[in-house]
A and B are shown apart, each in its own frame.
Chain A
């Protein structure tokens, strides 16, 4: 890899991490889980569905709404659609898309940093 491309990759990585971490303590919440049959990361979406991409996540803007989301998710867990639902912090980017607010959730949303080819495409633009 040329130095220029390597430098570009480092800059991009740092930006991603910084953006993800910038949302810590965010007021917006969503619910994530793993799909039971195959373990894929999913997000509770509108209509009781589960979206594979975080842009499709239903967002709660206060604690009570987040608790209702989690309750919905736990009902789905009991119905064996998903496993291990929990609430996560999210933010909205400049175009209003839902983004993870922590780097851990960024990795869950978009794939391992070392194997980007196994992750989901960045849901931007």
Chain B
């Protein structure tokens, strides 16, 4: 993975020193909150319901074991012993004291981490496919490009005060595991008919109060021109994006208001000045950065491990876990391992400091010391030898990290919601907990199959409810928590926004409602159909009918 050079380390160190001074002046009364707020946001420090919140950047979701150990140490020393992995592959701490944040940032800098640009109206953490460099369907590893975009966007002087936040995601495979269609810019690595590898560029995706699927403005962009093209997009956004209304300030609104053709025209016009300019990636830079992401030394003795196959036959629990938590690796003899952070009744995406330390140790032992954070709030070991899967599973089980539910009904995305977030209207985590408890039967979970439930505590949609197969949005109706259901959302390459089913359900009714939807699917499905397939075949009405007849 990428290692800081002297320039990177100096930059981060200087930022730590700068913020230390800014915090000191704030605490001494030399800065007002109005003056300090944009400064703390640029360093990932929010003020939430109970305390400050610190959002630490995990570039494209990739962590070295030593970094995860440092995150565990920070949770233990400065917080309440846990961290929360987010839908942008970052980690959040819910209880840091402002006076401690400079020390936290200094500790993060020791392991080449920071919290810069994880908030504010700037380009945020660049996210990517968590199976990067490992997936069997990958055209090219997206991480070098994610790192290139990160370096380009880091403290970019022209784009540090955008109309609003800006989010970029990159995928390297036809299957979209990075939700690029609901990002401000989505970059998909594609192969042209002549074999040349380049990028499809999507713009204007997003969720929140005005969800939109991104539009392709460039079906094929040659690789050397990625940065100049992104620069052109950002310049058009910076110039024409609305600054008069924060609810209409995202690039999706600009694309919608001017139309995709006119937006494309403006970008191409701007790009004409930038193409082949010094903005472009210098010769040799791609190769230099790509070298950091060279595949590890794969040494599996066989393409299929007999031990692995034997353990699956002999241990039904292991077989169940292997069936849903493992993904085919491009290297024979290896597997991609998903570690569920969604135990029954647990808080989605949370990990204790002890779990983080243990995962770091397991990563060293079984996956070349690397851990990936997924946007679905789980973790991934990208490269595990098949013969090590059984001992790894047993170790994960002792840590409460072997729930065999990846992509299933209990693998729920949930934002922090009203329990933590000052923007929320309703709680989201207890709903996720109650749903997972209702479906606390692994045979039933696996029978239901792939079903992505996503829960947001407010319209800002940090829980990605718009693209859930079942989306749940918490709302406040006269002081009571209610939950609106959407169906048919999809965050993958067949991206779609969910459709509202009907009137919202009260806090005490929503879990029953979800179970009714699942039971309706089971009654209606055909052989091999996932929930979303059945929904696409039969439409909303059968689900709506059952839902409101029962409730």
Q: Do residues A37 and B27 form an inter-chain contact, with CB atoms below 8 A? A: yes
Q: Which residues of B contact A80 (CB under 8 A)?
A: 26-29
Q: A residues within 8 A CB of B52?
A: 38-39
Task: Spot the interface stretch: A54-62, A64-72, A90-98, A110-118.
Answer: A110-118
Contact A39 B47 (CB under 8 A): yes
Bound together, the chains give a CA A102 to CA B478 distance in angstroms of: 11
Q: B residues 27-73 with Cβ under 8 Å of A?
A: 27-29, 32-33, 47-52
Interface pair B50/A112, CB less than 8 Å apart: yes
Name which residue of chain B comes closest to A13, CB basis.
B430
A104 vs B97: C-alpha distance in the bound complex, in angstroms? 22
Residues A62-84 near B (CB distance < 8 A): 77-80, 83-84
The answer to whether A24 and B420 have CB atoms under 8 Å apart is no
Is B508 interfacial (CB-CB < 8 Å)?
yes
In the complex, which residue of chain A has the Cβ closest to the Cβ of B30?
A80
List chain A residues, Cβ under 8 A from B419: 107, 112-115
**Chain A min CB distance to B321 (Å):** 24
Alpha-carbon separation in the docked complex, A118 to B51 (Å): 11
Report if A113-B47 is in contact (Cβ < 8 Å); known contacts: A36-B98, A39-B98. no
Task: Out of A37, A40, A104, name the residue touching B418 (CB < 8 Å).
Answer: A104
Interface size class of A (residues with CB under 8 A): 20 to 34
Q: Which residues of B contact A83 (CB under 8 A)?
A: 33, 47
- C-alpha gap A84/B507 in the complex (Å): 30
Contact of A37 (CB < 8 Å), options: B33, B49, B99, B429: B99
B38 to chain A, nearest CB (A): 14
B80→A39 contact, CB < 8 A: no
Q: Measured between C-beta atoms, what is the minimum distance from B253 to chain A in Å?
A: 28
A105's nearest neighbour on chain B, judged by CB, is B49
> Quick check: is B307 within 8 A (CB to CB) of the other chain?
no
Q: How large is the interface on B (under 10, 10 to 19, 20 to 34, 35 or more residues)?
A: 20 to 34
Residues of A near B50 (CB, < 8 A) are: 39-41, 107-108, 111-112, 118
Is B479 among interface residues, defined by CB-CB distance under 8 A? yes
For the complex, what is the distance from the CA of A13 to the CA of B429, rounded to whole Å?
Answer: 15
CB-CB under 8 A from B418, the residues of chain A are 103-104, 107
Contacts of B226 in A (CB 8 A): none
Complex CA distance for A40 and B49, rounded to whole angstroms: 9
A123 at the interface (CB under 8 A from B): no
Task: Tell whether B481 is near chain A: CB-to-CB under 8 Å.
Answer: yes
* In the complex, chain A residues whose CB is within 8 Å of the CB of B130: none
Residue numbers in B under 8 Å from A78 (CB-CB): 32
Of B26, B420, B479, B480, which contacts A36 at CB under 8 A?
Answer: B26
**Set of chain B residues within 8 Å of A114, measured between Cβ atoms:** 347, 419, 427, 429-430, 433
- Nearest chain B CB to A56 CB, angstrom units: 17
In the complex, which residues of chain A have a beta carbon less than 8 angstroms from the beta carbon of B479?
21, 24, 102-103
A113 partner residues in chain B, CB cutoff 8 A? 419, 427, 430
What residues of B have a CB within 8 angstroms of the CB of A15 in the complex?
none
What are the residues of chain A within 8 A of B433 when measuring CB–CB? Answer: 114
The answer to whether B47 touches A103 (Cβ under 8 A) is: no
- C-alpha gap A114/B117 in the complex (Å): 29
Q: Mark B418-434, 1 if CB is under 8 A from A, else 0.
A: 11100000010110010
Which residues in A have their C-beta under 8 angstroms from that of B95?
39, 118
CB distance from B497 to the nearest CB of A (A): 28
Measured in the bound complex, the distance between the Cα atoms of B424 and A108 in whole Å is: 13
Task: Check if B508 sits within 8 Å of A34, measured CB to CB.
Answer: no
Chain A residue with the shortest CB-CB distance to B100:
A38
Q: Per a CB cutoff under 8 Å, which of A17, A38, A108, A112 touches B98?
A: A38
How far, in whole Å, are A88 and B26 apart by their CA atoms in the complex?
26
Is B27 within 8 A of A36, CB to CB?
yes
A17, A21, A34, A118: the one contacting B47 at CB < 8 Å is: A34
5 residue pairs A–B, Cβ–Cβ below 8 Å = A84-B47, A107-B419, A108-B50, A114-B419, A115-B80
Instruction: Please list the 5 inter-chain residue pairs (A to B) with the smallest Cβ-Cβ separation, ordered nearest first.
Output: A38-B97, A39-B51, A112-B419, A80-B29, A39-B52
Given A34-B47, A103-B479; 19 other pairs, CB 8 A cutoff: A14-B508, A21-B479, A34-B51, A36-B27, A36-B98, A37-B27, A39-B52, A40-B50, A40-B51, A41-B49, A84-B33, A84-B47, A103-B418, A112-B50, A113-B419, A114-B347, A114-B429, A115-B419, A118-B50
